[in-house]
Amino acid sequence: MKKLPLNQNFIAPFFAAALFFFVTPVPAQDTEVTSIEEVIVTSQRVEESLQDVPIAVTALTADMLEDQQIQSGSDLQLLTPSLNFQGNDAGGGSFNIRGITNLAVSPTAESGVEIHVNDMPVGSTTMQDGEFLDMERIEVLRGPQGTLYGKNSVGGAINLITGRPQFDEISQMVSVDLGDYDLEKIRYTLNYPLSDSMAIRIAGMTVNRDGDIENIYSKRPTKHINGRNSDAYRFSFAWQINDSTDVLLVHETYDEDSTRHYVNNRYCKRDPSVAVGCTPGAELVHELTHPMATYVENLAILTGILDYTPVTDMSGAPKGFWQSNNRGNPRYIVEQEITQLIINHSINDDWNLTLAHSTKDRLYDRTGVYESEEYDRLRFKDNPLFPGGYVPMSGYGANCTLEDGTFGVYGGCITDTMNYPDGFDRQFNPDTNHDTTEIRVRSSLDGSFNYLIGAIHTSTSGISTYDIAANGLDALALAPPPVLTGGLPQGFVQLYAPLYRTSNKAATRSSAIFGEVYYQANDQLKYTLGIRRTEDYKEQYGRSPFLSVVGFGSAGGGFTALPGESIPEFGQSWYASGTPGDPETDYANTTGRFVVDFMLNDNTLLYGSISKGYKGGGFNPALDPEKYPDTQQVFPATELDAFEVGFKADFPSMGMRWNASAYFYDAADYQVTKIKNKTRLNEGIDVDIMGAESEFIWIPLQAPNWQFNVGMSWTDSEIASGEMIMNPANADLCLTTGCGNWHLMKNAADGEVFVVRKDVATMIWNMWQGGLWGPAQAIIVPAEFHGDRVTGQPTPVSFLPNVTPGHLPSITASRDLYNSVMIGTACDLMGCNPSEVILDGRLSDVSGNSLTHPEFSANLGIQYNLNTPDHLITFRLDAYHQDERYTGLFNLAWDKVPAWTEYNAMISIKPSSADANWRVDIYGQNITDEQNIMHIGEATAPLGFNKSIWARERSTYGVRWTYNF
């Protein structure tokens, strides 16, 4: 791969400090004096002390989760160095560890951080929506873990260890939370021994909470949205068959049906131009997009039910993160089940066997809001096709199916009928299945060598459907303009399907064999050599039936296709593109690790490692290879070489623990998304990453009632030289290098932007003014003209008849016609090559830019235990700070998530006796009520370049009562 001239001034001291520990003697500590709890982990697939594991691991016990208010996946970033979390529309959220995450967009794309439950990979799970239930501990492993944890753990792995049944006694726990927004949360666990060798454990949780986002619509169906209504249950059965064999069976479910709103408003500073909608680089405010700048409005103009209107009333725009103005409420549904069977068997005194199987079934169904007439003051025209300007908006129902011509409005399934443009989206994954089977054999020999060998097979399958419903789309389907029907009168025929739908059937299979050899050279020095061979198979069959069929139909009357017309089958777009073969591919890769760890003394471990990570590739949408010969139909696998040094040290005589690590990554084909032909295509770029982490715990022996914990991380990344990507928001490069000889235009047919060389666009406009195009005059929509753009400044616009010199048309009815008719004719006259004067956009140079991680993050916890004769009162304050970070690879200022800090506090009261059976917690989360942004969405042309916001919860307070019996 390309090598980068990284600035190593910052990282060098961390490597030097780690190497210093290798060569400098450290006095042995008094091991009889310690106040820090030993944590047992299974990070290397065997139980051992956290301090003996030569891997950067953050381990959180059940008590730590409770005391530090770590309730969900998003909260893990508050305690784990180099980890950050961002919600997303895929329904599981995504983790970023040391700069590694998933930036590819494809049903066959894989995460860069694998989620495991009881050591078994489970794929996308409820890390975005659910809360942790009855966890024994959570382990976050940083760095490539491919040898033991699989191909998707190129950035790291997160292992959720559930509470295991105990054979010794009956125990129960009930916990009740009451808090802001009428929060009612109940947790319950029961451990029940059936005999000396069999026990069950039952855990359950129910969460009900009103929404915290105010709906300011005067006719609102509910006062608030973003509520919670979920239930989670787990049943565990443990059986110690004999001294050699034990069995663990786990079955858990998670169900949610709530008004969870997955975004918190949008950023937009309205721009004067229809070409962009929101001004790139402008102040972060909550205004409405230019009324003509989104896809639905563009189509409404083509349909003739809307006139060009540059300005509308913005008084109904929600203000801040915690307001909305919606007529239709969101709905968020998750149904998930995980079942696991784990069998451990001691073959003899020297060898142990583990057989495990895990299956997960997940349904995810998220429906977004649509705004009210008080939000959008734009109104459709009264016309014969839609009297009063009222247009139906398609919805769903049992009798409205795609295959029989009754989908949406044609089957009478109508969400609403409105006289203003509006719509909503829906992500629906009806059944995603993930199965894993694994076998492992591990030795416990008395000699210098020990071994681990294993094999694993995983399979995933499912359907992913994304819909956009909008009354502008229904108007286009019911009354398509002549430009879409070959010149037929408007309304003479209809188009099907009325919702913009993209669906994919995808399946993956992965098999691997792996093994590690452990050589204990002496009492202090140990070597580990691991290797893993992975083979992947993937297939993806997609289709997009939106407006793909011509025929006759009516609202509620069904749709009948013309002879020879039919909705596309799954995979038809692949075959129609001319791509040879089937949409199936495979990958194979060998990864491994080499580790040297050295026990400097009884309390200090030094280690260094070299490892290789791997993340499989996948499919891009099908494109005609003749038109796009340089476009790969599959995107490559990511490979990563990692170098790491670290130490783990306990200082018992001082009550301290300090773990630290430093690393350097060389990543090839890091998967990112690029735009080509209005389509998201995934490709690979080369990048180098380096960083350092530190975790520190101190319980002063002279003041044992105090406890302090500190975590810090620094991450730096640089994209290799020569990497170029098109940024739709900066397609003309006006925002970075200046517009030059290129002009930005919008295609009304799909809402996307493109660029035209100015001299060619000027020639076309001059001919238009002279009336030389005849019927082709309609290709240009002379509603607006604009000049060069500047970052953060409104686009200069003008209108007929007073067009400012140098301004050119902002919008065309059809880019395809503009290209084939106007560009072709102009180039014949000017002697230019049409393919060189009209482009999707000019490429931005991202060389040297950073990935989408914060450079610095830190956490601090302070705890004080107050002992009274009858009670132990604990006061705790936790703080977390995350530096600003970019949300895209272009590293523009307006792509930054601002730095944020969150404070959580809790006061706990329980009896001071050793057998205390109750506890009361008074807690506050985000007590300063900061607007802490986890992610800002991508700005896209069809939505007018507004940017969605994902934020952490607002300030909440509550009381929890817990009783053990």
* Spatial contact of 85 and 883, defined as CB atoms under 8 Å apart: no
How many whole angstroms separate alpha carbon 415 and alpha carbon 419? 14
β-partners of residue 235 are 202, 251
What does residue 830 show for φ and ψ, rounded to 5 degrees? -95, -10
What's the average model confidence in pLDDT over 484-503? 89
Q: Residue-wise over 807-835: b if at least 16 C-beta within 10 A, else e?
A: bbbbbbbbbebbbebbbebbbeeeebebe
- Are residues 188 and 128 part of one domain? no
β-partners of residue 239 are 198, 247
Condensed to tens digits (0 to 9), the pLDDT of residues 718-763 reads 999 999 999 999 999 999 999 999 999 999 888 899 999 999 999 9
The count of residues in the chain is 965
Residue from 830, 848, 737 nearest 791 by CA? 737
How many whole angstroms separate alpha carbon 449 and alpha carbon 534? 25
Cα of 237 vs its chain's centroid, Å: 34
- From residue 780, alpha-carbon distances to 213, 230, 254, 295, 818 in Å are 42, 52, 53, 17, 8
The pLDDT value recorded for residue 10 is: 39
The pLDDT value recorded for residue 232 is: 96
pLDDT at residue 93 greater than cutoff 70:
no
pLDDT at residue 432 greater than cutoff 90:
yes
pLDDT at residue 19 greater than cutoff 50:
no
Query: Which one of 114, 139, 162 terminates a domain?
Result: 162
Residue from 207, 209, 205 nearest 181 by CA? 209
- Number of domains within the chain: 2
Band (87; pLDDT cuts 50, 70, 90): low
- Are residues 151 and 107 part of one domain? yes
Band (626; pLDDT cuts 50, 70, 90): low
- Are residues 233 and 191 part of one domain? yes
For residue 7, give both structure tokens.
Answer: 């600035």
pLDDT at residue 36 greater than cutoff 80:
yes
Largest CA distance in the chain: 97
In a domain, 78, yes or no: yes
- Are residues 48 and 137 part of one domain? yes
Query: Which one of 260, 282, 313 terminates a domain?
Result: 260
Query: Which one of 260, 276, 305 terminates a domain?
Result: 260
What does residue 941 show for φ and ψ, rounded to 5 degrees? -65, -45
Number of H helices and E strands in the chain, helices first, is: 10, 56
Give the chain's radius of gyration (CA, Å).
Answer: 30
The pLDDT value recorded for residue 484 is: 78
What's the average model confidence in pLDDT over 308-315? 87
What is the residue whose two structure tokens read 């010199």?
805
Band (481; pLDDT cuts 50, 70, 90): confident
The pLDDT value recorded for residue 805 is: 94
Side chain identity at 574, as an amino acid letter?
A: W
- Are residues 153 and 48 part of one domain? yes
Band (148; pLDDT cuts 50, 70, 90): confident
In a domain, 661, yes or no: no
* Spatial contact of 275 and 293, defined as CB atoms under 8 Å apart: yes
In a domain, 233, yes or no: yes
3-state secondary structure of 795: coil
Secondary structure letter of residue 401 according to DSSP: -
How many whole angstroms separate alpha carbon 369 and alpha carbon 296? 16
Assign residue 384 a region (left: φ > 0; alpha: ψ between -120 and 50; beta: otherwise): alpha
What's the average model confidence in pLDDT over 612-623? 83
Secondary structure letter of residue 819 according to DSSP: I
Condensed to tens digits (0 to 9), the pLDDT of residues 939-951 reads 888 889 999 898 8
The pLDDT value recorded for residue 778 is: 87
**Bigger pLDDT: 192 vs 31:** 192
What's the average model confidence in pLDDT over 109-129? 83
pLDDT at residue 28 greater than cutoff 50:
no
DSSP for 840-901? Answer: S-PEEE-TT---SS-SEEEEEEEEEEEE-SSEEEEEEEEEEEE--EESSTT--GGGEEPPEE
The pLDDT value recorded for residue 544 is: 86
What does residue 652 show for φ and ψ, rounded to 5 degrees? -60, -35
How many whole angstroms separate alpha carbon 172 and alpha carbon 603? 37
How many whole angstroms separate alpha carbon 442 and alpha carbon 452? 4
What is the residue whose two structure tokens read 């302090």?
708
- Are residues 205 and 125 part of one domain? no
Condensed to tens digits (0 to 9), the pLDDT of residues 856-903 reads 999 999 999 999 999 999 999 999 999 999 988 999 988 899 999 999
Condensed to tens digits (0 to 9), the pLDDT of residues 906-920 reads 999 999 988 899 999
What domain range is 193 assigned to?
Answer: 171-260
- Are residues 138 and 54 part of one domain? yes
In a domain, 706, yes or no: no
pLDDT at residue 688 greater than cutoff 90:
yes
Average pLDDT, the chain: 90
What's the average model confidence in pLDDT over 202-215? 96
Residue from 409, 546, 550 nearest 488 by CA? 550
3-state secondary structure of 411: helix
The pLDDT value recorded for residue 8 is: 42
- Are residues 127 and 216 part of one domain? no
The pLDDT value recorded for residue 15 is: 40
- Are residues 50 and 131 part of one domain? yes
- Are residues 155 and 48 part of one domain? yes
How many whole angstroms separate alpha carbon 696 and alpha carbon 711? 6
Assign residue 179 a region (left: φ > 0; alpha: ψ between -120 and 50; beta: otherwise): beta
In a domain, 29, yes or no: no
In a domain, 110, yes or no: yes
- Are residues 105 and 194 part of one domain? no
Cα of 866 vs its chain's centroid, Å: 42
Condensed to tens digits (0 to 9), the pLDDT of residues 233-251 reads 999 999 999 999 999 999 9
Cα of 302 vs its chain's centroid, Å: 35
- Are residues 187 and 249 part of one domain? yes
Highest mean predicted confidence (pLDDT) among 120-129, 213-222, 551-560: 551-560
* Domain containing residue 131: CATH number: 2.170.130.10
What's the average model confidence in pLDDT over 323-330? 91
Residue from 715, 728, 722 nearest 685 by CA? 722
* Spatial contact of 156 and 98, defined as CB atoms under 8 Å apart: yes
In a domain, 254, yes or no: yes
How many whole angstroms separate alpha carbon 351 and alpha carbon 526? 20
Tell me how crowded residue 933 is: count the other CB atoms within 10 A of its CB: 24
* Spatial contact of 524 and 607, defined as CB atoms under 8 Å apart: no
**Bigger pLDDT: 627 vs 689:** 689
In a domain, 231, yes or no: yes
- From residue 181, alpha-carbon distances to 178, 224, 465 in Å are 9, 10, 33
The pLDDT value recorded for residue 487 is: 81
Tell me how crowded residue 777 is: count the other CB atoms within 10 A of its CB: 12
